[in-house]
Amino acid sequence: MRFERVCNLRFSILDPRSSPIPPYSHTSQHPDAVFVVYNADTLKLNSPKDITVVGSAKIGFSLSPHNFPRHFSDESDIDVVVVDEALFDKYWMIMVEWNYPRRTIRLAQGDLKWIRKRKNELFWGWFLPDRIQYKGLYRPHILKPLLDISNRWFDAFQSLALYPEFAERKVSGRLYRTFEHARL
């Protein structure tokens, strides 16, 4: 049953020292291994340990105040933490480069709203690469590398639907700078 297989995605709470899957193997048929190895390869991460499933897919019930203690079910989504300091810093520096020449002048309303949202995400140490919108921004050519990463991120999570274990689920990931940021 699909529910039982996906429920096995429970790992120890955001501990980068713990192994989220059985020993790393590209040939393992375990859903955890398929998920983690696929995304580590697709997102070009250093290690499968940089990916951790969180939320109800991990512990079996929702921690959200609105849904507590709803059990993980066939309708539940899967939330993922991806920790990559270099990728996070790349996002950050490109945004600084995009905004730097205009830091002392009044920004257009769309640009101001966009940078405020990114600043809030940066403050908490995470980004949602596949949800960042780039249309209508000033100097979009500077943000092209971010758009490329966002597209790769979107493709990585959406293409999980090719695997039966994830075909019926929404799987989304947040990029964190460190595991400490993810614990906050």
Expressed as residue numbers, the domain containing 136 is: 87-148
| Tally of domains in the chain | 2
The reported pTM is 0.76
Sequence-distant (6+) residues with CB within 8 A of 14 are 52, 54, 81, 179, 182, 183
**How far is the C-alpha of 13 from the C-alpha of 17, rounded, in Å?**
10
Do 152 and 43 contact (CB within 8 A), yes or no? yes
Residue reference for tokens 């947040």 = 174
Largest CA distance in the chain: 58
Does 167 or 21 have the greater pLDDT score?
167
pLDDT of 65-118, one tens digit each? Answer: 888 888 888 888 888 899 999 999 999 999 999 988 776 578 888 898 998 999
Sheet bearing 51-54, strands edge to edge: 51-54, 78-83, 171-176, 126-127
Are residues 140 and 170 both part of a single domain?
no
Are residues 102 and 127 both part of a single domain?
yes
Distances (CA, A) of 180 to 14, 117, 127, 147: 9, 21, 15, 26
Are residues 155 and 134 both part of a single domain?
no
Are residues 42 and 74 both part of a single domain?
yes
Are residues 7 and 37 both part of a single domain?
yes
pLDDT of 46-77, one tens digit each? Answer: 877 888 888 888 888 887 788 888 888 888 88
Q: What radius of gyration, in Å, describes the C-alpha atoms of the chain?
A: 18
Are residues 79 and 162 both part of a single domain?
yes
Are residues 80 and 106 both part of a single domain?
no
Are residues 10 and 80 both part of a single domain?
yes
Are residues 159 and 131 both part of a single domain?
no
Mean of the per-residue pLDDT values of the chain = 77
